[in-house]
Amino acid sequence: MAESSTAAATGQAVHAHHEELGFWRTYVFSTDHKMIGRQFLFLGLFMMVLGGLLALMLRWQLAWPETQIPGLGWVPEPFMYDGAMGPEFYNAVFTMHATIMIFFVVMPILVGCFGNFLIPLMIGARDMAFPVLNMLSFWVGVVAGVVMLAGFFVPGGHAAGGWTAYAPLTAVPQYTGVHSGQNLWIISLMILGISSLMGSINYITTIINMRAPGMTFFRLPLVIWSLFIVAILLLLALPVLTSALAMLLFDRTLGTSFFLPAGGGEPLRWQHLFWFFGHPEVYILILPAMGVTSDILAVFARKPIFGYRAMAFSMIALAFLSWVVWGHHMFQSGMNPALGTGFMISTMVIAVPSAIKTFNWLGTLWGGNIHFKTAMLHALAFVSMFVIGGLSGIFMASTPVDIFIHDTYFIVAHIHYVVFGGSVFGLFAAIYYWFPKMFGRMMNEPLGKIHFFATFIAYNCTFFPMHILGVGGMMRRIYNPMQYEFLQPLQPINVFITWGAIGLGLAQIPFVINFFWSLFAGKKAERNPWKANTLEWVAASPPPHGNFDAIPVVHRGPYEYSSPEVTEDYLPQDRQLGPQRVATAH
Amino acid sequence: MMNWLPENVSTYGGEVDSLFYLIYYITGATFILVMVTLLAFLVLYRRREGRRATYSHGNTTLEIIWTVVPAIILVVLSFMSQASWARIKSHAPPGDVEVQVTSKQFNWEMLYPGPDGKFGTADDLMLENELHVPVGKIVRVHLRSKDVIHSFFLPNLRLKQDSVPGREILAWFEATKPGKYEIPCAELCGFGHSGMKGWLTVHPADEYEKWVKERWPSS
């Protein structure tokens, strides 16, 4: 690697002697955590384009029902009729939009990409504990993606039972008319579960065993805390999903009756199992974005994070509580209403750690010296949008209010404020912030700001009015709102939302240009362009195989910004202060 | 935002709506508070050359305050919600009118027990997607499903209850105003989910008598 010469100049280059690996071992079947991280990033970004286009098809149908979608006249029947969507295909499209965005965009990018890329670099390790397992985790994920996409091309079309796949609708092929599409959906998620399991074991082992000297748990950056907690959640939650999926597959293909009352099964069993996985899953999606935001806010406010331990403990609290709130998805399901009361209380309680985090982020900004870089703007968007997503959750936590808004667009608005307003802004923040370390070049700031403001405005135009649709009673997952008299007056809002969504799609063009242009022609990045404290900025940009010239020794926590001990406004974790300074500190 | 709610015509709908308003005001005030603080900080503490950020790791008193205050508000909200929840979903009052509603892809079957008040007898009457009830009377709905899960949604009556195959779920309402209201299905139930709807007709007392007489002349 080109960096090995500079590495040798600054210290002993332990790994400089490694032999050149061929193309396949470097770029395809790489065991280097940084390459695997980049691979997850490209997988996620590719899937994001696909998931976004599916969303635009949904929005077109909702604004101008059963009219021709421009450019889609070639799609054959029975999916589309001369470019207009049929209801079966519409159901498959929203099922796949959610499935792709959750399992193949947010998880691969926030957990797969940044987990892989950041954990060894930020804890001061040369690689993951199990590099081959790491490679397998990515390629098993690719197999899952291929199986998932194959579902679009099988007779009967793709899974059309929603991403929540409620049985019995999904348990008997005749109920949806979908045969192998739903089976492939199930098998794909089982394979993806194996991929995530390999990843999470690796993350946990690496963080526990491979921290650099001096890197205690309470000196870990919060993003590493978040990824550590997420890995534990994945390890515990995914087996539940996998076993539920296996039962569903058996019901569909082997004639069992886990979820079918005619054979003695119980339909609600699916919902209990799915949401027992599904609610920790929500925190799997949001916790890494919280960690990313915490790190970026501190760096660009040039201030220590406000209440570091409270931030770490509130994430642990969220992780614990996420196991006892699943029933709030089932208030109207026919589950005993007394059980609903218990889940309402646990759900109200889980809002408290989220509130702590929000106020601590505000506290971090207080008295800062705030640099408005693109990464920072996205992190600030995360905070403000997460506030909306968190507050709207209180409506549905209240069981009587949930009677009305359950299964309406209020829920759709809520999930998008959490997963787009939260996770996706967090994901963009992370890309803008770590791009220099990942690819050795800076992204373009003006283009980044255009992307940010266009996205932020279009995003709110798209998702905020969905709260109003929900309050108006519009059900989610309906193909044509004009079939209902009470929804017809709301139709102009649907049209407005669709224009917002089209704008949101167009707003991503500057990002794509910026990303690929910067990849090849961006300004060369120095080691520490943001003047940050954490260990990844000690390594070269991009770090060579083995990451560090010498394993750094950690002397302090990750957020010593504007410390009175030094004249600069940052104090890297590995910097050893002179003896007289140490003396005054005692 | 409030006038977007469909007109409420049920006895307990007012409770649901006032909880909605209450949460709306609490969350709205919180949102404004957080946003104003955030924007103020962004302006006040924007980057200026030569200035140094305050070196602070936190403040335990402040953190305790903003942990305890939301916790108290949320617990109080839970208790306020609980009373209405129990009234609407746990303790159905004795019914003046009993009807069995069975969902199937993609219709609502409304079964009336007839003058004998018993389901499964010769005088039962089944109507597709039409539910007729008197105003000001307690209607008990025995929800069943033939195939998949559906959800019986009466937007104007603030009632939603999933119907689940293999079990019977009891729901109830009391309408306060005559009229025709839509009954959409709120749970994805297949390709015909969109458009699966019935009509609830709430009759004034005399009109309902007439409707019953026409159906069961002997009674």
Instruction: Enumerate the H helices of B120-199 as residue ranges.
Output: none
CA–CA separation, A120 and A543 (whole Å): 11
Q: Choosing among A66, A218, A314, A475, which should be mutated to test the B contact, i.e. which has the most B CBs within 10 A?
A: A475
A479 in contact with chain B, both atoms CB, cutoff 8 A: yes
Residues of B in contact with A559 (CB under 8 A): 57
Task: Give which of A109, A313, A471 is closest to B8, Cα–Cα.
Answer: A471
Q: Which residue of A has its CA nearest to B24?
A: A395
The domain spans of chain A are 30-265, 309-507, 524-586
Query: pTM score, two decimals?
Result: 0.94
Kindly list the domain boundaries of chain B, sorted by start residue.
2-47+57-90, 97-215
Contacts by A508-511, CB closer than 8 A, 24 or more apart: A508/A52, A508/A451, A508/A455, A510/A447, A510/A448, A510/A450, A510/A451, A510/A454, A511/A428, A511/A448, A511/A451, A511/A455
What is the count of residue pairs from A and B with beta carbons less than 8 Å apart?
279
Helix (H) or strand (E) holding B112: strand B107-112
How far is residue B1's CA from residue A573's CA, in Å, rounded to a whole number?
49
How far from A388 is each of A118, A121, A226, A314, B24, CA to CA, in Å?
29, 33, 21, 19, 12
CA of A200: how far to CAs of A239, B31, B138, in Å? 12, 35, 54
Residues A167 and A248 sit within 8 Å (Cβ to Cβ): yes
* Residue closest to A504 by CA, chosen among A453, A468, A470: A453
Alpha-carbon gap: B43 to the closest alpha carbon of chain A (Å):
9
Backbone φ, ψ for residue A402 (5° rounding)? -65, -30
ipTM of the complex: 0.96
> Distance (Å, rounded) from C-alpha A480 to C-alpha A65?
6
CA distance A345 to chain B (A): 6
Task: Choose from B74, B80, B151, B196 for mutation: most chain A CBs within 10 A.
Answer: B74
Whether residues A475 and B186 touch (CB distance < 8 A) is answered with: yes
pLDDT tens-place string over residues A56-104:
999 999 999 999 999 898 888 888 888 899 999 999 999 999 999 999 9
Q: Which letter does DSSP use for residue A485 in this model?
A: G
Question: Coil, strand or helix: which one is B143?
Answer: strand
B156 interaction partners in chain A (CB closer than 8 Å): 486
* Chain B residues touching residue A360 (CB < 8 angstroms): 58, 63
For A30-265, which CATH class? mainly alpha
> Chain A interface, mutation test: which of B51, B57, B62, most A Cβ atoms within 10 Å?
B57
Alpha carbon distance A219, A300 (integer Å)? 19
Q: Which residue of A has its CA nearest to B53?
A: A368
Three-state DSSP at B179 gives strand
Asked whether the CA dihedral A288, A289, A290, A295 is positive or negative, the reply is positive
Which chain A residues are Cβ-neighbours of B54 within 8 angstroms? 303, 366-368, 562
Nearest-Cα residue of chain A relative to residue B71: A352
pLDDT in tens, chain A (586 residues): 344 444 334 444 444 455 677 888 888 899 999 999 999 999 999 999 999 999 999 999 999 999 999 989 888 888 888 889 999 999 999 999 999 999 999 999 999 999 999 999 999 999 999 999 999 999 999 999 999 999 999 999 999 999 999 999 999 999 999 999 999 999 999 999 999 999 999 999 999 999 999 999 999 999 999 999 999 999 999 999 999 999 999 999 999 999 999 999 999 999 999 999 999 999 999 999 999 999 999 999 999 999 999 999 999 999 999 999 999 999 999 999 999 999 999 999 999 999 999 999 999 999 999 999 999 999 999 999 999 999 999 999 999 999 999 999 999 999 999 999 999 999 999 999 999 999 999 999 999 999 999 999 999 999 999 999 999 999 999 999 999 999 999 999 999 999 999 999 999 999 999 999 999 999 999 999 999 999 999 999 999 999 999 999 999 999 999 999 999 999 999 999 876 554 444 4
CATH architecture, domain defined by B97-215: Sandwich (2.60)
Chosen CATH of B2-47+57-90 out of 1.10.10.350, 3.40.50.720, 2.40.160.20, 1.10.287.90: 1.10.287.90
Q: How far apart are CA A335 and CA A423, in angstroms?
A: 31
Taking Cα atoms as reference points, which of A149, A136, A135 lies closest to residue A104?
A: A149
CA dihedral for A520, A525, A527, A529, sign (positive or negative): negative
* Closest chain B residue to the Cα of A365, Cα to Cα: B41
Q: Strands across the sheet with B138-145, in order? A: B125-128, B107-112, B97-104, B138-145, B169-174
For residue B179, give how far its alpha carbon lies from the nearest alpha carbon of chain A (Å): 13
Beta-carbon separation of B31 and A391 below 8 A: yes
Q: Say how many residues make up chain B.
A: 219
The CATH class of the A309-507 domain is mainly alpha
Mean of pLDDT values over B104-120 = 93
Residue A244 distance to chain B (closest CA, Å) = 18
Contact A106, A423 (CB under 8 A): yes
Q: Which of A356, A408, A475 sits opposite B66 (nearest CB)?
A: A356
Q: What are phi and psi of A240, to 5 degrees?
A: -65, -45
Tens digits of per-residue pLDDT, A428-483?
Answer: 999 999 999 999 999 999 999 999 999 999 999 999 999 999 999 999 999 999 99
Chain B touched by A6 (CB under 8 Å): no
